[in-house]
Structure 1
Amino acid sequence: MKKLSIIYLFVFMIIGCKSTSVTNTKLDNKTERMLKGNWTITAVNFAGSEYLKVNSFNIEDSNCFIGSNWSFISNNNEGEMALNNPSTDCKDFSSPITWYVNKDRNFVLKIINNHKAKDVNSGYILRLNNVTENSFELIDKINVAGQTKDITYSFQRK
């Protein structure tokens, strides 16, 4: 009986210590299907944007993402993003991406950029907001003078 109690205690501890990491939660397949397709970022907003520059996704200034094109494939959680605004001083950039939406409405993004997805160990967790058939927002957290602020990327369906 004592061995059985120890086994139950061990099983209880394993179940009780289950990870609640953002990357380990269940997927929101319905929302992922809503995002399937081609999108353009129409605006990037954050407090102090008229005075500050933010390097988005460690790629380029946040304003360079306005007009960028994104494609999301929901059945394999892959896609592509491309910055190609010829009217600005921004560099061109494109990369395959992997992405998914979890049940907590977090959008988890990896920018692959000439690597295999399994070799990319870093990514971004953004909050998904205001999802409709033709628009949605991704909200990231940035540090501005020691304070955490939101930066909002507004997407429109192409």
Structure 2
Amino acid sequence: MKKIVLVLMTLSLLVACKSTQTTAGPSPAKKKVLKGDWTLSSISYSEDAEFNVTLLNEATKACFEGSRWNFIPNNNTGSYSIAGDADCNNGLRHFIFTVDGQNFLLKPTDAKGKSLTNVGFHFNLVSMSETSLIIAQTVAIEGEEDSLTITWQFSR
């Protein structure tokens, strides 16, 4: 009887001490699909109206549409380049990102990967294929109870 109790206690201790499994980032398949250059083809709103939205706390929809993006999944970094009119503050920007299931997190950084403002942005990963990437961001509308979904569509 003592041997049975000892074996059961040992087994329960081994099970209790087992390390938990976590996913540390995108699956290898998602990394392969995401890797490389993308063009932000369009940005759309869930409501049929014009909104004065500053995206990523930086620029307007008009400035971001047509911007070039590069994702480097092996170190979760990337960059994008805005080339719009004079109001767009053109140039190259850097970011770090994480893809965890349907969550897509993006945080602007400097060229060395250091956060500029310690502010990140949460998106929902709607779909991803070899030629298309769609992410969506839900934001509150100032002075309204409703929220607005901003959909970003990338293509290769």
TM-score by length of 2: 0.75
- For residues 37 and 27 of structure 1, the distance between their equivalents in structure 2, rounded to whole angstroms, comes to 17
Q: 2:99 aligns with which of 93, 98, 101?
A: 101
User: Contact 1:32/1:100 (CA < 8 Å) preserved in 2?
Assistant: no
- For residues 43 and 113 of structure 2, the distance between their equivalents in structure 1, rounded to whole angstroms, comes to 29
When Rg is computed on C-alpha atoms for both structures, the one with the higher figure is 2
- For residues 37 and 63 of structure 2, the distance between their equivalents in structure 1, rounded to whole angstroms, comes to 18
Q: Which residue of 1 aligns with 2:71?
A: 72
- For residues 112 and 34 of structure 2, the distance between their equivalents in structure 1, rounded to whole angstroms, comes to 24
Q: Is 2:30 the partner of 1:31?
A: yes
Q: What is the root-mean-square deviation in Å for CA atoms of aligned residues?
A: 2.7
What is the CA-CA distance between 1:116 and the residue it aligns to? 4.1
User: Contact 1:94/1:113 (CA < 8 Å) preserved in 2?
Assistant: no
What is the CA-CA distance between 1:35 and the residue it aligns to? 0.5
Code of the residue aligned with 1:78 in structure 2: it is T
- For residues 33 and 120 of structure 1, the distance between their equivalents in structure 2, rounded to whole angstroms, comes to 29
Code of the residue aligned with 1:130 in structure 2: it is S
SS at match of 1:56: coil
- The residue correspondences of 1:82-93 to structure 2 (distance < 5 A) are 82-86=81-85, 89-93=87-91
- For residues 134 and 83 of structure 1, the distance between their equivalents in structure 2, rounded to whole angstroms, comes to 21
* Percent identical residues: 26
Q: 1:121 to 1:91 in 2, by over 3 A?
A: closer
Q: Which residue of 1 aligns with 2:62?
A: 63
SS at match of 1:40: strand
Q: Is 2:150 the partner of 1:151?
A: yes
User: Contact 2:108/2:115 (CA < 8 Å) preserved in 1?
Assistant: no
Q: 1:121 aligns with which of 98, 105, 118?
A: 118
Code of the residue aligned with 1:142 in structure 2: it is V
What is the CA-CA distance between 1:118 and the residue it aligns to? 6.0
The runs of 5 or more residues in structure 2 that have no matched partner are 1-12
Q: Which residue of 1 aligns with 2:127?
A: 130
The runs of 5 or more residues in structure 1 that have no matched partner are 1-7, 19-23
